[in-house]
Structure 1
Amino acid sequence: MPYAVDFAAVSTTGLESSPVADALAGLRANEARYFKNKYDHVFTTEPADDAKATVDWVSRILEEERGIVVSSPPLEATEFQVENIRWAYVFYRSGLSINVLYTLDDDGKRAVGFKLSDGMEVPAELDGFKFARQKSKLAGTIRGSFFVIKNEH
């Protein structure tokens, strides 16, 4: 069942099995606030089993672009388009959030972003990435990194 993420009252709905559920919920709420403020878009997630096509698309991009296979099971995912950008998010039990920004114009930006919830270790599959720190009232300290997508997906 789809869940409209509320960034005013942060909830762990759908993320309860994560050892860092509160921090991951804050991270998800932080994304919801961004999309509401920038695009007036309501950020809605659904269980990963119901969003298999989205999870598979993100996984395929990770593997084809960088040989990355995420070891943690996905809990929730979402995919939507705002303006001319296709967005996909997958939230994993470990506390990892992965997003794909895929501009539909041929010359537009295309990237994969990683965000680590407060309290989680850097997963082995992301060991070579450097992470910048960002403070968030909703999520505590968010560590983030990204890479540019080079191929068509």
Structure 2
Amino acid sequence: MPYVVDFENVSTVGLESSPVADALAGLRANEARYFRNKYQHVFTVEPAADAHDAVDRVTRILSEERGIVIASPALEATDFEVEGIRWTYVFYESGLSINVLWTVADAGKRAVGFKLSDGMDVPAELSAFKFARQRSKLAGTIRGSFFVIKGQY
């Protein structure tokens, strides 16, 4: 069942099995606030079991682009388009959030972003990446990295 993420009253709904559930909920709320403020888009997620296409798309891109296989199970995902940009988000039990964005126009941006919840270690499969730090009132310290997608998906 879809869940509208509330960034004013942060909740761990759907993320309870994560060892960093509070921080992951803050990270998810931080993303919801970004999309509400920038695009007036309501950020809605659903259980990963109900969002096979979104999870499979992220898994395929990571595998084909960089040979990355995420060890942690996916908890929630969402897939939507705003202002000509297609976004796919997957939130993992470990506290990892992965987003894939690509502009609908042929020659546009295509990238994968990683965000680590406050308190989680860098997963071994992402150890080759350097992570920048960002402070968030909702999520504490967020560490993030990205890579540009070369292929067409």
Smaller-chain TM-score bracket? over 0.9
Q: CA deviation at 1:106?
A: 1.1
The total of aligned residue pairs comes to: 153
TM-align CA RMSD: 0.3
Please give the residue correspondences for 1:1-150 in structure 2 after superposition, counting only pairs within 5 Å. Answer: 1-150=1-150
Runs of 4+ in 1 over 2 A off after TM superposition: none
5+ residue gaps, structure 1: none
After superposition, the C-alpha distances for 1:51-80 in whole angstroms (9 at most, x for unaligned) are 011000010000000000000000000000
Deviations 1:78-118 (A, max 9, x none): 00000111000000000000000111111111100000000
Percent identical residues: 78
Structure 2: give runs of 5+ residues left out of the alignment: none
Structure 1 residue 120, shift from structure 2 partner:
0.3
2:42 aligned counterpart, secondary structure: coil
TM-score (norm 1): 0.99
TM-score for the superposition, normalised by structure 2? 0.99
What code does the residue aligned with 2:134 have? Q
